[in-house]
């Protein structure tokens, strides 16, 4: 549902453009007798306007907040798109704050047929201006706008604001907050690790053509221990194997 616009319908929207960066720092880590494929992830906004989310709930009896997206218009007004996602208070090691769910998803696919065989269990994202994109982009603010901790240790909050400014990005280190895939039962072979931003497609942005990136991996076992080797890394490409060698 879209709230009634506060501006003439012909006023252009200054939409964000979310880019999924290819997974990096990919490796295998043992944890409690299981083997995890861990990796870093990042997404950036290279669009015409910020990604801005305002989430709220009526009172503390509601465990989640409804997130709306605020889109700036060329005439300086703002249009609100309602119910683009859910924000939930997440408790994990080192983190207790409000996460926007399903902003980015990770899955592992077989190279041979592209079939998804493993999906992430990540709890969501505290979106913010964590790093600066090197490109010189129109509309980039002089300083970071979204710099908060998303209500850290504040389960009582009734509203929270998250987002990514033009020319900035949000990143997560490998193995942080469930950012891994369990490969204990996977056989030797070649796989695609695929990252997709705006995974549910609910966020308004300029284009979705750069929402997916991937790396091609070779998983091998030796003495009952797995290791992984990155064969190729492809930005804005879900099937990195299509351009790989032998």
Residue 20 and residue 234 in contact, taking contact as beta carbons nearer than 8 Å: no
Partnered with residue 13 across adjacent β-strands are 73
Assess if residue 7 is contained within a domain: no
DSSP type of residue 187: P
Domain containing 146 equals 13-243
Any domain includes 235: yes
Question: Does 6 reside within a domain?
Answer: no
Is 71 a domain residue? yes
Is position 3 within any domain?
no
- Structure letter (DSSP) for residue 211: S
CB 60 within 8 A of CB 4: no
**CA trace torsion 44, 65, 147, 209 (10° rounding):** 10
Contacts for 2 with CB less than 8 Å, ≥ 6 apart = 79, 80, 81, 82
The count of domains in the chain is: 1
Q: Quick check: pTM over 0.85?
A: yes
Let me know if residue 2 belongs to a domain. no
- CA 218 vs CA 41, 185, 186, 195, 234: distances in Å: 19, 15, 12, 17, 15
74: left (phi over 0), alpha (psi -120 to 50) or beta: alpha
Note whether residue 5 is domain-resident: no
User: Could you report the per-residue pLDDT of 155-208, keeping only the tens digit for each?
Assistant: 999 999 999 999 999 998 887 767 899 999 999 999 999 999 998 999 999 999
Query: What pairs with residue 72 in β-bridges?
Result: 14, 78
Residue 177 lies in a domain: yes
Strand, helix or coil at 243? helix
- CA gap 158, 179 in Å, rounded: 27
Taking only the tens place, the pLDDT of each residue in 39-88 is 999 999 999 999 999 999 999 999 999 999 999 999 999 999 999 999 99
Q: Are 117 and 108 in contact (CB under 8 A)?
A: yes
Name the nearest CA neighbour of 171 among 135, 215, 130: 130
**Which pLDDT does position 87 carry in this prediction?**
97
pLDDT digits (tens, 9 = 90+) for 107-151: 999 999 999 999 987 768 899 999 999 988 999 999 999 999 999
């Amino acid at each position: 549902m879209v709230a009634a616009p506060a501006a003439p319908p012909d006023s252009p929207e200054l939409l964000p453009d979310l880019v999924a960066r290819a997974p990096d720092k990919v490796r295998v880590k043992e944890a409690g007798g299981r083997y995890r494929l861990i990796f870093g992830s990042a997404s950036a906004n290279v669009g015409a306007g910020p990604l801005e989310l305002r989430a709220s709930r009526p009172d503390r009896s509601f465990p989640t907040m409804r997130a709306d997206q605020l889109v700036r218009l060329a005439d300086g007004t703002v249009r609100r798109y309602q119910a683009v996602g859910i924000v939930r208070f997440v408790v994990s090691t080192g983190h207790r704050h409000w996460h926007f769910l399903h902003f980015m998803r990770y899955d592992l696919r077989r190279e041979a047929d592209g079939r998804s065989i493993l999906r992430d269990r990540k709890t969501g994202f505290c979106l913010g201006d964590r790093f600066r994109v090197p490109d010189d982009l129109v509309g980039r603010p002089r300083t970071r706008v979204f710099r908060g901790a998303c209500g850290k240790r504040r389960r009582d909050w009734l509203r929270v604001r998250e987002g990514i400014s033009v020319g900035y990005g949000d990143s997560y280190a490998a193995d942080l907050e469930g950012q891994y895939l369990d490969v204990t039962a996977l056989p030797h072979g070649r796989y695609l690790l695929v990252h997709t931003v705006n995974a549910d497609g609910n966020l308004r942005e300029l284009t979705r053509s750069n929402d997916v990136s991937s790396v091609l991996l070779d998983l091998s076992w030796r003495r009952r221990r797995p290791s992984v080797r990155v064969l190729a890394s492809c930005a804005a490409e879900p099937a990195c194997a299509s351009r790989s060698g032998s």
